[in-house]
Chain A
């Protein structure tokens, strides 16, 4: 059964720092990996999706990488801002599944002004 782990569980950084969030998964047979953002009391917003054949995706200050063979992904946030404060969730769709996501427990990020 696929398991997804995110480290660290919480992270606090000063504004302007570059930071990396980590995600690992146990079964490398995946269709894709997705990174989401969740603000308190709200739903999930899709940030980046990396298909199994891809190595990375970029959107603005965000860059996500995927190393399927080692079961790892990283989300890089450049020049962090207080508005980036949120919980970041990593999730995978396993091959052979009906496209349901398996989620990590998230990293709660606080960017201090």
Chain B
């Protein structure tokens, strides 16, 4: 079974802090994604990566950056956390071009910025 593991289920940070959210997958997937999920807005793509050291902006990249130094790990970084970044963050992974295989999601990190 594919396993996507997010480092924290719940996280509370203060405005202005630098925040790291970590995601690890064990299936050697090329693609990794970070989404945020908000009531009434659904899931929105922040950043994604299709290879080590490669990154692409999604729909809402402002205020975020990412790092992919190893194939299995994809980190989301909030450079200076703000209250409007309070949200549920979901990491996912998938094969690069196997369209008969789904994306696999982690359990999510509920982040609160005070």
- Chain A residues packing against B (C-beta within 8 Å): 31-32, 34, 36, 41-46, 49, 51-52, 89, 91, 93, 98-101, 103-106
Residue B90 is within 8 A (CB to CB) of chain A in the complex:
yes
Q: A43 near B42 (CB under 8 angstroms)?
A: no
A17 vs chain B, min Cβ distance (A): 26
| Total interface residues in chain B, CB < 8 Å | 27
B100 touches A32 (CB 8 A): yes
Looking at B56, B101, B103, B108, the one whose CB has the most chain A CB atoms below 10 A away is: B103
With A98-B31, A100-B48, A103-B42 in contact, do A93 and B107 touch (Cβ < 8 Å)? no
Contact partner of B102 among A41, A43, A49, CB < 8 A? A49
Per-residue A-contact encoding for B29-63, CB less than 8 Å = 1, 0 else: 00101000000101101001010000010100000
Query: Mostly helix, strand, loop or mixed at chain A's interface?
Result: strand
Q: Does B73 contact A (CB under 8 A)?
A: no
**For B58, what are the chain A residues with a Cβ–Cβ distance below 8 Å?**
100
B105-A43 in contact (CB<8A): yes
Question: Would you call A32 and B107 a contact (CB within 8 A)?
Answer: no
Complex CA–CA separation, A31 to B102 (angstroms) = 11
Residues of B within 8 A of A43 (CB): 4, 90, 105-108
Q: State whether B104 touches A99 (Cβ < 8 A).
A: no
- 8 nearest A-B residue pairs (beta carbon): A46-B102, A44-B105, A43-B105, A103-B43, A31-B99, A43-B107, A105-B42, A43-B108
Other 12 A-B pairs with CB < 8 A, given A43-B107, A43-B108, A52-B99: A34-B103, A36-B105, A42-B107, A49-B101, A98-B31, A99-B94, A99-B96, A99-B99, A100-B45, A100-B48, A101-B103, A103-B43
Question: Which of B40, B94, B104, B105: most chain A Cβ within 10 A?
Answer: B105
| B110: Cβ under 8 A from any A Cβ | yes
Cα(A46)–Cα(B94), bound, Å: 12
